[in-house]
Amino acid sequence: MATFDDLLEEAGSFGRCQKRIFALLCFLSLPFAGVYVGIVFQGFTPDHWCRDSAAAERRQACGWSPADSRRLTLPLVNSSGELRQSACEQFEVDWNATGLACDTQELHLSGAPLTACKDGWEYQYEGRKSFVTEFNLVCSDGWLVDMYQSTLNLGFLIGSFAFGYFADRFGRKISFLVSNVLNVTAGIVLAVVPNYISILVVRAIFGFGVKGGWMTCYVLLTEIVGVEYRRTVGILFQMFFSIGNLILPLLAYFITDWRWLQVVITVPYILFVSYYWFIPESPRWLITQKRSSEALEITEAMAKENKMKFTRNLEVDEFNGLLKG
Digit-coded pLDDT (tens) for 155-173: 999 999 999 999 999 999 9
Percent of the chain with pLDDT over 90: 54
Last residue of a domain, one of 66, 91, 124: 124
For residues 33-47, average pLDDT? 92
Q: Could you tell me if residue 32 is inside a domain? A: yes
Q: Residue 78 pLDDT more than 90?
A: no
Same domain, 222 and 91: no
289 against 151, higher pLDDT: 151
Q: Are 183 and 258 in contact (CB under 8 A)?
A: no
Burial 215-248, CB ≥16 within 10 A → b, else e: bbbbbbbbbbbbeebbeebeeebeebbeebbeeb
Percent of the chain with pLDDT over 70: 87
Q: Which 3 state secondary structure label does DSSP give 194?
A: coil
Same domain, 29 and 72: no
Q: Residue 310 pLDDT more than 80?
A: no
pTM, two decimals, is: 0.85
For residues 192-210, average pLDDT? 95
Same domain, 155 and 221: yes
CB 51: neighbour CB atoms within 10 A? 17
| pLDDT grade for 324, boundaries at 50, 70 and 90 | very low
Domain that holds residue 269: 4-43+144-320
**How many angstroms separate the Cα of 243 from the Cα of each of 31, 44, 149, 297?**
10, 22, 21, 35
Q: Are 48 and 84 in contact (CB under 8 A)?
A: no
| pLDDT grade for 3, boundaries at 50, 70 and 90 | confident
| pLDDT grade for 85, boundaries at 50, 70 and 90 | confident
Shortest CA distance to 316 belongs to which of 285, 286, 277?
Answer: 286
206 against 140, higher pLDDT: 206
Shortest CA distance to 100 belongs to which of 54, 42, 36?
Answer: 54
Average pLDDT for the chain: 86
Same domain, 162 and 56: no
For residues 56-75, average pLDDT? 73
Q: Could you tell me if residue 57 is inside a domain? A: yes
Same domain, 194 and 237: yes
Same domain, 89 and 178: no
Give the model's pLDDT for residue 325.
Answer: 44
Q: Which 3 state secondary structure label does DSSP give 265?
A: helix
Same domain, 199 and 273: yes
Q: Could you tell me if residue 27 is inside a domain? A: yes
Q: Could you tell me if residue 138 is inside a domain? A: no
Same domain, 167 and 181: yes
For residue 124, the cross-strand partners are 47
Point out the least confidently predicted range of 47-61, 153-167, 199-213. Answer: 47-61
| pLDDT grade for 275, boundaries at 50, 70 and 90 | very high
For residues 14-42, average pLDDT? 93
User: How buried is residue 164: exposed, middle or buried, by Cβ count under 10 Å (0-12/13-18/19+)?
Assistant: middle
Same domain, 271 and 305: yes
Give the model's pLDDT for residue 183.
Answer: 96
Same domain, 224 and 165: yes
Q: Could you tell me if residue 185 is inside a domain? A: yes
Give the model's pLDDT for residue 323.
Answer: 46
Give the model's pLDDT for residue 317.
Answer: 56
Same domain, 35 and 181: yes
Give the model's pLDDT for residue 314.
Answer: 64
Same domain, 74 and 170: no
